[in-house]
Amino acid sequence: MGEQERIVNRAGMKETSGSEEWKDISCSGDFLFNPGDSSRVLLPSGAPKNCSKTYKVPRRPFEAARLDQELKLVGEYGLRNKREIWRIGFTLSNIRRAARELLTLEDKDPRRLFEGNALIRRLVRIGVLDEDKMKLDYVLALKIEDFLERRLQTQVFKLGLAKSIHHARVLIRQRHIRVGKQVVDIPSFVVRLDSQKHIDFSLTSPYGGGRAGRVKRKRAAAAASKGDEEEDEE
């Protein structure tokens, strides 16, 4: 029998050779392997991914004033690294660019009215922009600190649920915090104004009346066994 025809189905990421079906033996889908053949075909894995940028590194990496400001923000808001600042800065630059572009249009321009109002409503909804400043001119005055204040980590600390800003991050990562009925374990989660009053301890958390933690259960068991021993001695 001559060389068998190989058919690659790009949509399903499967390859057939005659009557045999090529199976993906890798969880990541890096290789497709035919049990009857030792050859492997390198193909892209999974569905197409969005590779757009989420942050932009500073143009001057060793600028003293910027380094001092970033270090202060990292300590004040309990950030993991400076990449979190760069991500917010990248988002803020996109918002400012959109606002500047809309400001170049006429006041009665349909695009400015529609997109400008939508942008302002989104910023007001997340609490970054005050309701008495619902104009595009005020959007240009926004700072990185305005977005850092709306992070779940910052809100948990300000509501008094954590002893420090760093303790707030630990509580969130260990799934002790919920927003409404949903447990949120992402410290950078942006809290909306209408969701701010629903931040509380999770119902399954020891802080929220749930099952006690491992150390507390261990100490309680040790105390109970010690009490039983004292009763037996009496």
pLDDT, tens digit (0-9, with 9 covering 90-100), for 186-198: 999 999 999 999 9
Q: Which pLDDT does position 17 carry in this prediction?
A: 44
DSSP assignment of 4-17:
PPEEEETTTTEEEE
Mean pLDDT for all residues in the chain: 83
CATH topology assigned to domain 152-208: 3.10.290
Q: What percent of the chain lies above the pLDDT cut of 90?
A: 65
Looking at the chain, the domain(s) classified CATH 3.10.290.10 span 152-208
Q: Which pLDDT does position 91 carry in this prediction?
A: 96
The reported pTM is: 0.73
pLDDT band at 46 (very low <50, low <70, confident <90, very high): low
**8 A C-beta contact, residue 89 and residue 179:** no
Give 205 or 226, the one with higher predicted confidence.
205
- Please compute Rg for the chain using Cα positions: 27
Q: Which pLDDT does position 113 carry in this prediction?
A: 96
Give 45 or 37, the one with higher predicted confidence.
45
pLDDT, tens digit (0-9, with 9 covering 90-100), for 125-164: 999 999 999 999 999 999 999 999 999 999 999 999 999 9
